[in-house]
């Protein structure tokens, strides 16, 4: 499965375009384009994606999420959500995570802005989540406000993590079951969404 920046690099190579050529033709600054190509920008502006797709002569939906517009529209009707391994989320644009075809999916009652994430370990076994379980995450903006005991998908230092929210005197902390691992202040992480359903593998 390729990412947005990998698809972009592949198309540029096929068209014989260097980054400076693409920057000039799209009007994007060289630093902005460099950040996109290196995967440092996880949420490129839609205007940037559209401009790049116009210059490269490709479907902007395909460029951004990896599936053609028609395929994307038909797959959302049957409420399939992509299944992600946590490590594969690194560098992916957060708004596109529920839209990208990972090659694996869960069928859900209401597709919405959902994705499924595979639990990588037993760090949240006390919350009923075990290695290999599928955690269905709602990534709509209103699901980014955490309450105590919510299971959250967060991004911290580029890595995607599944953590439990826990109220503290100075705000919300994000933790795993083992207190020896410490905690992460919710304000230091980007909350991508929270668990709405748990399924056993």
Task: Looking at the structure, tell me whether residues 84 and 183 fall in a common domain.
Answer: yes
Q: Say how many C-beta atoms besides its own lie within 10 A of residue 200's C-beta.
A: 8
Q: What three-state secondary structure class fits 35?
A: helix
Task: Looking at the structure, tell me whether residues 58 and 154 fall in a common domain.
Answer: no
Tell me, letter by letter, the H, E, C secondary structure of 56-100: HCCCHHHHHHCCCHHHHHHHHHCCEEEEEEHHHHCCCCHHHCCCC
Query: Whole-angstrom Cα distance, residue 113 to residue 142?
Result: 11
The per-residue pLDDT string of the chain (201 residues; one tens digit each, 9 = 90 and over) reads: 467 888 899 999 999 999 999 999 988 888 888 888 887 765 678 888 888 999 999 998 888 888 777 776 665 555 788 999 999 998 888 888 988 888 898 887 666 789 999 999 999 988 889 999 999 999 988 878 899 999 999 999 989 999 999 998 888 899 998 877 788 898 899 999 999 988 876
Task: Looking at the structure, tell me whether residues 115 and 60 fall in a common domain.
Answer: no
Q: How many domains does the chain have?
A: 2
On whether residue 71 sits in a domain, the answer given is: no
Supply the range of the domain harboring residue 99.
79-199
Task: Looking at the structure, tell me whether residues 83 and 61 fall in a common domain.
Answer: no
Which pTM value belongs to this model? 0.62
Can you give the CATH number for the domain in which 114 is found? 2.10.109.10
Q: Of the candidates 20, 40, 65, which is a domain's last residue?
A: 65
């Amino acid at each position: 499965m390729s990412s947005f920046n990998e698809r972009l690099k592949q198309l540029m190579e096929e068209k014989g375009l260097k980054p400076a050529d693409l920057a000039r033709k799209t009007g994007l600054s060289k630093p902005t384009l460099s950040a996109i190509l290196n995967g440092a920008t996880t949420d490129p502006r839609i205007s940037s994606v559209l401009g790049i797709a116009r210059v490269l002569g490709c479907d902007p939906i395909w460029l951004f999420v990896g599936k053609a517009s028609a395929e994307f529209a038909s797959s959302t009707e049957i409420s399939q959500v992509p299944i992600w391994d946590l490590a594969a989320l690194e560098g992916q644009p957060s708004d596109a995570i529920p839209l990208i075809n990972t090659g694996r999916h869960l069928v859900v009652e209401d597709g919405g802005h959902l994705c499924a994430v595979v639990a990588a370990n037993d760090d949240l076994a006390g919350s009923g989540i075990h290695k290999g379980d599928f955690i269905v995450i709602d990534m709509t903006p209103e699901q980014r406000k955490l309450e105590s005991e919510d299971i959250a998908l967060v991004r911290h230092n580029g890595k995607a993590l599944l953590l439990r929210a826990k109220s503290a005197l100075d705000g919300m902390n994000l933790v795993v079951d083992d207190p020896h691992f410490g905690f992460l202040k919710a304000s230091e992480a980007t909350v991508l969404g929270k668990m709405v359903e748990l399924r056993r593998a």
